[in-house]
């Protein structure tokens, strides 16, 4: 997949083209978003995922597709209208769904359900909250927007560059992991500009269907848990059958014995190559707020791929990536899967191979150029966002810091890992 930015911005639901626009449109070279992943993943990793999805569902009202919602060329505007009662309800109970109307590209979708989201990044509905918009909540509602049953709109409260997720999730996807699509969007609530958001594809069954032929397996969120007996029941089931056999199998395999034997036993239940790839991309983009760097782990999902008979990793919570360039990507990985790998020379070598492959993919897709183009594209929207908690200068500083992080990543990891 090669993504190109043509620097088109959508303001008040009307796309502004490069020609005749005053918004400073930007472009980079490259193909226009095909369906194939990049690179030869080695060790059978190509077999984990059949195809990189390109979206393009055409369900729901209006003209358009999922490609429009996650385009790098035109950023969507989402308008939300709700009654005073719904607004006040969110002030009192911010995580309860309330009735509202979603307007996209001049088409009204109603009734939909809206609530705030987030923990450390949570903000009140009167400020700049992260939002969930659920289109299938009500029986008489629209059910979906071009096949999406839910929208996730991130306020970027912990992302001072205002672009971490868009760049990080691209890297995960290009590296062959099932990962959400991400772009930017402008959000308007009851006629008031709430500002620039990350529009992030929700990790749900529809997203899983885009990556796997068999989407019937259970999906678990790994939140403050790891593969130990005491945590097995605490993996949070998102959907699917309540079957924790594979999680228990990994926990049992991690007990006693030598590391190489433990890994071999665990691979009956989990794709270690999926984990190593996930860990390697996390090392490249600096995802140190997630498993295996957080222990017990969080900010990730595991999906049971019934066809392979193994758990596979799906990234989540990438808003705090690209911050700490010198953070040791091996010794700070304390999750049991990474810790066990660190004790095995063969597994350490496999991890290094994945890191080298991910670095090659970053060069192939010109991740640095993509970062620069996104920064230029969103600059006028950053300036127009009056609701963010930090100044424009703060954003420019952290965007420059992120650019330096990406530019230096190969040399940093080559020295750190002796690649």
pLDDT digits (tens, 9 = 90+) for 123-166: 999 999 999 999 999 999 999 999 999 999 999 999 999 999 99
Predicted pLDDT at 294: 86
Question: Tokens 């009167």 map to which residue?
Answer: 126
Q: Locate the DSSP E strands across 274-419.
A: 300-305, 310-315
CA nearest to 71, candidates 149, 223, 179, 181: 181
Question: Tokens 């010109």 map to which residue?
Answer: 366
pLDDT digits (tens, 9 = 90+) for 343-355: 999 999 999 999 9
How far is residue 294 CA from its own chain's centroid? 17
- What sign does the CA torsion over 108, 196, 96, 144 have? positive
Q: What does the alpha-carbon distance between residue 188 and residue 191 come to, in Å, rounded to a whole number?
A: 6
Edge-to-edge order in the sheet of strand 236-239: 236-239, 219-221, 300-305, 310-315
Q: How confident is the model at residue 223 (pLDDT cuts 50, 70, 90)?
A: very high
How far is residue 169 CA from its own chain's centroid? 5
Question: Tokens 């309330």 map to which residue?
Answer: 98
Residues 6 or more apart whose Cβ sits within 8 Å of residue 88:
none
H/E stretch holding 209 reads helix 205-209
For the record, the structure tokens of 38 come out as 């990049």
For the record, the structure tokens of 353 come out as 């191979």
pLDDT digits (tens, 9 = 90+) for 164-198: 999 999 999 999 999 999 999 999 999 999 999 99
Q: How confident is the model at residue 61 (pLDDT cuts 50, 70, 90)?
A: low
| Angle separating helix axes 164-174 and 345-364, nearest 10 degrees | 110
What three-state secondary structure class fits 312? strand
Q: Kindly give the pairing relationship between strand 192-201 and strand 98-104.
A: unpaired
Q: Locate the DSSP E strands across 211-327.
A: 219-221, 236-239, 300-305, 310-315
Domain residue ranges of the chain, discontinuous segments joined by +:
9-207, 213-362
Q: Kindly give the pairing relationship between strand 77-81 and strand 182-189.
A: parallel
How far is residue 354 CA from its own chain's centroid? 20
Q: Classify residue 188 as exposed, middle or buried by CB count within 10 Å of its CB (0-12, 13-18, 19+).
A: middle
Q: Locate the DSSP E strands across 25-156.
A: 77-81, 98-104, 107-117, 130-134, 150-154
Long-range pairs, 209-212, Cβ under 8 A, ≥24: 210/53, 210/55, 211/49, 211/50, 211/51, 211/52, 211/53, 211/178, 212/49, 212/50, 212/178, 212/303, 212/305, 212/307
pTM attached to this predicted model? 0.85
Q: What does the alpha-carbon distance between residue 213 and residue 357 come to, in Å, rounded to a whole number?
A: 26
Q: What are phi and psi of 416, to 5 degrees?
A: -65, -40
pLDDT digits (tens, 9 = 90+) for 363-405: 999 999 999 999 999 999 999 999 999 999 999 999 999 999 9
């Amino acid at each position: 997949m090669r993504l190109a930015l043509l620097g088109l911005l959508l303001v008040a639901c009307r796309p502004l083209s490069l020609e005749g626009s005053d918004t400073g449109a930007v472009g980079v070279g490259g193909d226009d978003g095909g369906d194939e992943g990049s690179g030869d993943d080695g060790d059978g990793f190509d077999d984990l995922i059949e195809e990189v999805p390109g979206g393009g569902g055409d369900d729901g009202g209006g003209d358009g597709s999922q490609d429009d919602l996650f385009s790098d060329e035109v950023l969507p505007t989402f308008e939300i209208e709700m009654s005073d009662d719904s607004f006040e309800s969110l002030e009192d109970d911010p995580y309860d769904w309330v009735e509202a109307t979603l307007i996209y590209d001049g088409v009204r979708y109603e009734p939909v359900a809206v609530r705030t989201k987030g923990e450390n990044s949570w903000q009140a509905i009167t400020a700049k909250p992260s939002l969930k918009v659920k289109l299938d909540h009500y029986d008489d509602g629209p059910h979906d927007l071009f096949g999406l049953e839910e929208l996730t709109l991130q306020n970027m409260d912990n992302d001072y560059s205002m672009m971490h997720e868009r760049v990080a999730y691209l890297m995960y996807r290009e590296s062959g992991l099932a990962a959400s699509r991400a772009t930017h969007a402008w959000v308007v609530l009851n006629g008031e500009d709430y500002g620039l958001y990350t529009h992030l594809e929700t990790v749900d069954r529809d997203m899983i269907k885009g990556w796997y032929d068999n989407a019937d397996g259970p999906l678990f969120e790994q939140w403050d848990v790891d593969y130990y007996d005491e945590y097995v029941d605490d993996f949070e089931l998102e959907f699917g059958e309540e079957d924790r056999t594979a999680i228990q199998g990994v926990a049992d395999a991690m007990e006693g014995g030598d590391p190489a034997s433990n890994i071999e036993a665990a691979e009956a239940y989990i794709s270690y190559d999926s984990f190593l790839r996930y860990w390697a991309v996390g090392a490249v983009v600096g995802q140190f707020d997630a498993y295996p760097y957080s222990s017990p782990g969080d900010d990730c999902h595991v999906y049971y791929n019934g066809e392979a008979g193994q758990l596979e990793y799906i990234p989540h919570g990438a808003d705090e990536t690209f911050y700490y360039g010198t953070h040791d990507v091996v010794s700070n990985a304390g999750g049991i899967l990474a810790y066990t790998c660190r004790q095995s020379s063969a597994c350490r070598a496999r991890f290094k191979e994945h890191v080298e492959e991910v670095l090659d993919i970053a060069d192939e897709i010109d991740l640095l150029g993509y970062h620069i183009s996104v920064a230029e594209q969103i600059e006028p929207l950053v300036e127009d966002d009056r609701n963010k908690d930090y100044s424009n200068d703060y954003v420019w500083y952290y965007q420059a810091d992120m650019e330096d992080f990406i530019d230096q990543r190969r040399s940093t990891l080559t020295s750190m890992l002796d690649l």
